[in-house]
C-alpha cells in the first residue's frame, strides 16, 4: 500500500490515530474509512491522493470482492477543503479538480464495486463522492446537498456525477438552490439505493457487499466495466457492445461453471477465470 502518511493498511483490530484515511482488508471486503472528522472529512489534496492510491491498489487485490467507503463522525464529507480554495491561482485550482476527477474515475474504474455507507451529511464534492460510488446506502439521518451556489462557487464537478445519478431536473434543483435533501428523498431520486435506520446501516451495507463478493470476481468485473461503457451510448450501439461482451463472457470458465452448477442444482465453485 502507498507510503502516504494519510493512508494506513491495516486490519480492523489495528487502530491508527491522526490519519485522514484508514484502510482495512477483511477478505472478501475492503473497508475505506475517512477519519478526519474534526475537519468534516474534507477532501483535501492529500486525502484525495490517499483515497485514489488506496482504491487503485485495492483494484489489483484478488482477495477483495467489494469495497465499502464510510466515514467517522456526523459528516460523511463536506467536500473540498476550503482552506485550499482561497487565494489560489488557476494552475492550483486545476490541480485540485484534476485530482478530484482522477479519484472519482478510479472508483468507477476498479473491477470491484464500491459501496458508499453514508451516516451523516454529504455536501458538494462529498455528495459527488456518494453519487460516484457504484452503490450507496444511507442512514435515515443522512442529508445531501450541492451548496456551492451559496458561496459563489457553483458545484460544476459534482454536477457531473449528480446528473448521471438523479437526472437533469432534480440535479439542477439541488445545484441551483443548494438545499439539503434527506435520505428518503435521496433514495427516491436514485442518489442512494435505499435509506435504512442508523443502527442497521453497517449490517445492511456489509450484507450487500458480501452478497456481491460471493459472485464470480471475473463476472462482476466484466459487468461493472460494461455498465459504464454502455450507459451513455445510444441504444443500438449499447446493444452491439453488450452482446459482444456477453458472448465473450459466456466463454469464461466461471460462466460455464455457473451454468453447469445451475443445471446440476449445486453451488458453483468460482475460479475467477
In this predicted model, what pLDDT tens digit does every residue of 39-70 receive, in sequence order?
A: 999 999 999 999 999 999 999 999 999 999 99
Residues of the chain with pLDDT below 50 are 1-18
- The domain that contains 243 carries what CATH number? 1.10.12
Q: What's the start-to-end Cα distance of the chain, in Å?
A: 25
Q: Is 272 a member of any domain?
A: no
Q: What does the CA dihedral 14, 18, 20, 23 come to, rounded to 10 degrees? A: -10
State whether 31 and 155 are in the same domain: yes
Residue 268 has what pLDDT?
95
Q: Could you give the residue ranges of the DSSP H alpha helices within 19-155? A: 45-59, 90-109, 125-132
Do 78 and 154 lie in one domain? The reply is: yes
Angle between helices 235-250 and 253-264 (to 10 degrees): 80
C-beta separation of 128 from 104 below 8 A: yes
Strand order in the sheet with 75-77: 75-77, 121-123, 143-145, 181-182
C-alpha–C-alpha distance, residues 78 and 201, integer Å: 20
Domain encompassing residue 225:
217-264
What cell was used for 258? 455457473
Interatomic CA distance for residues 62 and 67, integer angstroms: 12
Report the domain count for the chain. 2
Q: Looking at the structure, tell me whether residues 221 and 184 fall in a common domain.
A: no
What value, to the nearest 5°, has the Cα angle with vertex 104 and ends 24 and 66? 40
Rounded-to-integer distance, Cα 242 and Cα 229, Å: 9
Query: What is the structure's pLDDT at 19?
Result: 64
pLDDT score of 5: 38
On whether the CB atoms of residues 202 and 117 are closer than 8 A, the answer is yes
Confirm whether 16 is domain-assigned.
Answer: yes
**Grid cell listed for 20:** 485522514
- pLDDT confidence of residue 17: 36
What is this structure's pTM? 0.91
pLDDT score of 174: 98
Amino acid at each position: 500500500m502507498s507510503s502516504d502518511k494519510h493512508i494506513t493498511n491495516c486490519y480492523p483490530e489495528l487502530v491508527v490515530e491522526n490519519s485522514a484515511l484508514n484502510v482495512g482488508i477483511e477478505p472478501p471486503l475492503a473497508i475505506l474509512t475517512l477519519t478526519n472528522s474534526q475537519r468534516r472529512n474534507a477532501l483535501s489534496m492529500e486525502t484525495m491522493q490517499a483515497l485514489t492510491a488506496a482504491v487503485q491498489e485495492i483494484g489489483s487485490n484478488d482477495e477483495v470482492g467489494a469495497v465499502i467507503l464510510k466515514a467517522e463522525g456526523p459528516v460523511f464529507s463536506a467536500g473540498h477543503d476550503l482552506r485550499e480554495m482561497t487565494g489560489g491561482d488557476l494552475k492550483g485550482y486545476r490541480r485540485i479538480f484534476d485530482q478530484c476527477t482522477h479519484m472519482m474515475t478510479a472508483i468507477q474504474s476498479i473491477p470491484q464495486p464500491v459501496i458508499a455507507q453514508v451516516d451523516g451529511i454529504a455536501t458538494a464534492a462529498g455528495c459527488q463522492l456518494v453519487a460516484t460510488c457504484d452503490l450507496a446506502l444511507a442512514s435515515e439521518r443522512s442529508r445531501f446537498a450541492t451548496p456551492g451556489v451559496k458561496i459563489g462557487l457553483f458545484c460544476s464537478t459534482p454536477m457531473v456525477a449528480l446528473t448521471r445519478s438523479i437526472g437533469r431536473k432534480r440535479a439542477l434543483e439541488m445545484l441551483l438552490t443548494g438545499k439539503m435533501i434527506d435520505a428518503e428523498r435521496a433514495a427516491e431520486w436514485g442518489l442512494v439505493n435505499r435509506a435504512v435506520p442508523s443502527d442497521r446501516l453497517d449490517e445492511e451495507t456489509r450484507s450487500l457487499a458480501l452478497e456481491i463478493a460471493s459472485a464470480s470476481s471475473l463476472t462482476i468485473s466484466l459487468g461493472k466495466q460494461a455498465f459504464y461503457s454502455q450507459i451513455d451510448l445510444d441504444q443500438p450501439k449499447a446493444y452491439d457492445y453488450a452482446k459482444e461482451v456477453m458472448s465473450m463472457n459466456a466463454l469464461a470458465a466461471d460462466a460455464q461453471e455457473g451454468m453447469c452448477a445451475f443445471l446440476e442444482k449445486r453451488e458453483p465453485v468460482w475460479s475467477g477465470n
